[in-house]
A and B are shown apart, each in its own frame.
Chain A
Amino acid sequence: MSNIESWDWESKEKMLADTAEWKDRFEDVWEPYISSDGEKIASIIKIGEGEFNICVNGNTWEEPFEKMWYSRFSPDGRLTALISKDAEWTMAVDGVALEETYEYIWDTKFSADGKTIVAIVKQDGVYGMLVNGKVWECPVKLESIASHAISPDGNTVAAIAQTVPLGQADLDGFLKGTWSVVVNGKPWNDNFVGIYGLAISNDGKKVAAEYRAAICEYGIVVNGNPWIEKFGCTWEPVFHPDKSDEIIVPVRQAGQWFLAKNGRIVWDKGFFSLLYQTYSPDGNNIAVAVAPQFGKWTVAVNGQPWSVTFGECVQKPCFSPDGRKVAVIAKDSGKWLLVVDGAVLGEGYDNIWQPVFSPDGDKVICKVEKNGKYAVAVNGEIRGKNYEALWNPVISPDGTRAMICGVESGRYYRKVVSLSNI
């Protein structure tokens, strides 16, 4: 989150927009998005046949467009949208469309500081990455881009791309390898049968991905160099937060899933399923979602599963800032549950969003949904009002306050509350 210190942590409550009134002003109002600091709320609006605009805190951009979609705020508060004019597509940032236009543009992403904005573009049948308004130069004509990733500092942009054209029903050609990873416009030397699960280390120096070597043979490739070890299946690799030479990845061997670090299995215990490996902020602990048996899910921390299991699923675990506690959203008997260190907190909900810990780890805060209304829950219990729309609460850098942004009776409020009061 960029510049979180400079956000307004003082104003207790600000009513920033009356979104109900937008519905009278415009033909159609789409779902709203807010800036990370909560100061702006924006919706794409339809003003007429083939005429769209965007409404930010009640004001529209100067110029309407033929089509608009995918409005997203960058972490530094700029509002982007993908727009079309004269039947060509491009990106508009804070109301200004880029000069260059494309056949198509999609999948906008931002660096953590918001300084770098990227999206995938297609022009004349060639795919490329648009990085801060410029399409990267790539020596190879890219046939497709499946997905992309950006380093926290924005200096490394990597994409899973089809680097070799493939004829219809060309099985041999496919198995020779048509996919690779392109980093800042430079493709890796080798092509692979398939590439999945792209990851970039926090320092931006290393790019890792799963690769498929043959029909049932998978491995991990880092900066173009494949691990020697191959597995029956893998899932996406994850870098250590500080050490870019340490990668953990779920691997499948003899019908069981294990966690492997740099190619070696770390825990001797295998699971029916293993997903979402997560490092603690200091990188000393690892939590993963596991199914010790079919249909029974839990979290294993450093290889040790919790004793409680859940019948439907668990999602990605998350560590407290000090790395001592682990929270996860689990589903059992049709209800979503917040679970911390193996204990269910509060009741079940219709939906729970990814939780955040207070700095001391005592409180877990999250957005929950119940009977079509949204609320903030602290340690699993709903505190305060219901909202028609709500965003994930954000905790202040000093750990004393939380920002809660939500819509009540059509009005958008940004509130700052003391953590000790909620």
Chain B
Amino acid sequence: MKPTIVKREPVVDEALDQCEARLTEEQIEKVVNEVIDKETGGRLWTYVNTCIHCGLCAEACHWFLSNDRDVSYAPVTKVKDTIWVLLEKKGKVDGAFIKRCSEIAHTECNLCRRCGMYCPFGIDIAYMLLVVRRICAKLGMVPLYLQDTVHSHAATMNQMWVKPDEWIDTLQWQEEEGQGFVPSARLPLEKEGADIMYSVIGPEPKFLAQLLGNITVIMKVAGLDWTMPATAGWDNSNMAMYSGDFEIMARVERLHHETAQRLKVKRIVMGECGHAFRGAEYDGPTWMGWMKPPIPIVHAISFYYDLIKSGKIKIAKKAKGPITVQDPCNVVRNGGLGDKLRYIMNAVCEDFVDVTPNNRYNYCCNAGGGVINVGPPWKKKRVQGNRIKAEQFKRTGAHTIVTPCHNCHSGIEDIVDFYKLGMHVKFFSDILIEAMEIPEHLKPKEE
């Protein structure tokens, strides 16, 4: 098979360059075969032996579509240029090849699984690229900022190097912020036996603390018995899952789920994040041997759906003007929450304008799968690699895009900025907090 013609603007990622210089071919061969022999099995073998090289997956990929149908971005090409070669050469490849594997698997694929849905045989291409990431991670070939984030998970059990005191302090501060809306609101820490443990991702206390204030108000208005841990285990996010460092992934997920068990809650409700749902609901438990999380985990979309549908939260004034939505891959295509998302959008928006394609067919935001976490060096390629997303939003004519996922939120902010869409990007809870009714008895007293 002729090599793929790849045209890219050069990107300097120190970590990849240094790793390439350091790796020996013996190391590479050993790790490749270790991963393929001991960590894969029927799936990889069958996928590779079944793929008829039909190229139908290309049409699914936002990278391919946004880059003027550049062949090198097609899902099947990404497989051809990585795992096919690793299997064929039985790991006898050089450092430059592994570096290219990391570029493809870590920076040019979001593991969004849209291509799996477009393969006539249901070959899970994203799974194969995750195997490639695993090989890269074991060899230390991970883009700088993604690896740094994984180190943060490893050291602090959260994504953003948040220290234990900063976490608690932020919660106590946001409790006070929430009390500005509802004076009797409380953010209960370490309350054993509460109904709900609320967990978030690292960037919330670090950059988006107002979301913690929002939830303090929402929980009070809905009258729910909830708690948050004052220990590590509060972060449900997991970039180790995406670098391919599954041991750290499992350690983070285990702590998260055991924290919920320690607090004796009935369910974990998580904030608006997609990959965190994937990690906490699926990848983490699977690695641990749990068929599903010991304490069920409920994504914010389902949670708000229940609150609005049951009338625990009433909508006082719907948000005005055309508002559209981003379906996060990990909770919609790979989580089945698309219809609930539409229900809550219609409930809080006067004029909800849907995207096309929508629901589980939606295009990825291009930030997920750890791709935004590979950091600034790769940003230009990332936003250019999702032109179709910008075009899709433009067609809606909306003034605001709701993104019930942190990666989507950041990725779409970049796209809005780059393509000058002039749209706002908001979390659902930002819209809800404005739209919901705060009962009289909970409102601050006029002095």
Residue of B nearest to A271 (CB): B289
Say whether, besides A104-B168, A216-B247, A294-B289, A194 and B294 are in contact (CB < 8 Å): no
Query: Interface-forming stretch among A91-99, A139-147, A378-386, A411-419?
Result: A139-147
Say whether, besides A69-B172, A120-B164, A169 and B148 are in contact (CB < 8 Å): yes
Residue of A nearest to B189 (CB): A69
Return chain A residues, CB-CB under 8 Å to B147: 171
Which B residues contact A (CB, under 8 angstroms)? 15, 38-39, 137-138, 140, 144-145, 147-148, 151, 154-157, 163-165, 168-169, 172, 184, 186, 188-193, 230-232, 245, 247, 250-251, 261, 264, 266, 286, 288-292, 294
A35 within 8 A of B: no
Report whether B188 and A295 are in contact in the complex, using a CB–CB cutoff of 8 Å: no
Report whether B230 and A178 are in contact in the complex, using a CB–CB cutoff of 8 Å: no
Residue of B nearest to A276 (CB): B258
Residue of A nearest to B19 (CB): A171
Report whether B289 and A295 are in contact in the complex, using a CB–CB cutoff of 8 Å: yes
Report whether A103 and B186 are in contact in the complex, using a CB–CB cutoff of 8 Å: no
Return chain B residues, CB-CB under 8 Å to A194: 154-155
Return chain A residues, CB-CB under 8 Å to B193: 31, 351, 369
Return chain B residues, CB-CB under 8 Å to A178: 155
Contact of B144 among A169, A218, A252 (CB under 8 A): A169
Return chain B residues, CB-CB under 8 Å to A401: none
Report whether A312 and B164 are in contact in the complex, using a CB–CB cutoff of 8 Å: no
Return chain A residues, CB-CB under 8 Å to B189: 69-70
Report whether A31 and B250 are in contact in the complex, using a CB–CB cutoff of 8 Å: no
Report whether B38 and A297 are in contact in the complex, using a CB–CB cutoff of 8 Å: no
Report whether A144 and B156 are in contact in the complex, using a CB–CB cutoff of 8 Å: yes
A212 within 8 A of B: yes
A278 within 8 A of B: no
Return chain B residues, CB-CB under 8 Å to A216: 137-138, 245, 247
Report whether A146 and B289 are in contact in the complex, using a CB–CB cutoff of 8 Å: no
Which A residues contact B (CB, under 8 angstroms)? 28, 30-31, 67, 69-70, 103-104, 106-107, 120, 122, 144-147, 162, 168-171, 174, 178-179, 193-194, 196, 212, 215-216, 218, 232-233, 252, 254-255, 272-273, 291, 294-295, 297, 311-313, 315, 331, 350-351, 353, 369
Report whether A28 and B184 are in contact in the complex, using a CB–CB cutoff of 8 Å: yes
Return chain B residues, CB-CB under 8 Å to A252: 247
Min CB gap B298→A, angstroms: 14
CB pairs A–B below 8 angstroms (26 shown): A31-B188, A69-B230, A104-B165, A104-B169, A106-B168, A120-B165, A144-B163, A145-B164, A146-B155, A146-B157, A162-B155, A174-B148, A179-B155, A194-B154, A215-B137, A215-B140, A215-B245, A216-B137, A216-B245, A233-B250, A255-B38, A255-B39, A294-B291, A295-B289, A311-B291, A312-B294
Report whether A70 and B230 are in contact in the complex, using a CB–CB cutoff of 8 Å: yes
| Known interface pairs A30-B188, A171-B147; 17 further A-B residue pairs with C-beta atoms within 8 A, sorted by A's residue number | A31-B191, A31-B193, A106-B164, A171-B15, A171-B151, A178-B155, A193-B154, A194-B154, A212-B154, A233-B251, A272-B289, A273-B288, A297-B289, A312-B291, A312-B292, A312-B294, A350-B266
Report whether B264 and A351 are in contact in the complex, using a CB–CB cutoff of 8 Å: yes
Q: How far is the CA of A385 from the CA of B84 in the complex (A)?
A: 65
Q: How far is the CA of A254 from the CA of B231 in the complex (A)?
A: 32
Return chain B residues, CB-CB under 8 Å to A233: 247, 250-251
Min CB gap A373→B, angstroms: 12
Min CB gap A387→B, angstroms: 12
Report whether A107 and B231 are in contact in the complex, using a CB–CB cutoff of 8 Å: yes
Min CB gap B340→A, angstroms: 21
Q: How far is the CA of A146 from the CA of B233 in the complex (A)?
A: 11
Q: How far is the CA of A294 from the CA of B151 in the complex (A)?
A: 28
Report whether A171 and B148 are in contact in the complex, using a CB–CB cutoff of 8 Å: yes
Return chain A residues, CB-CB under 8 Å to B230: 69-70, 106-107
Return chain A residues, CB-CB under 8 Å to B188: 30-31
Residue of A nearest to B262 (CB): A315
Q: How far is the CA of A232 from the CA of B102 in the complex (A)?
A: 22
Residue of B nearest to A272 (CB): B289
Min CB gap B416→A, angstroms: 26
Report whether B245 and A106 are in contact in the complex, using a CB–CB cutoff of 8 Å: no
Return chain A residues, CB-CB under 8 Å to B169: 104
What 7 A-B pairs come out closest when comparing CB atoms?
A273-B289, A295-B291, A291-B289, A313-B294, A104-B165, A169-B148, A233-B247
Report whether B164 and A146 are in contact in the complex, using a CB–CB cutoff of 8 Å: yes
Return chain B residues, CB-CB under 8 Å to A350: 266
Q: How far is the CA of A232 from the CA of B137 in the complex (A)?
A: 13
Q: How far is the CA of A294 from the CA of B285 in the complex (A)?
A: 10
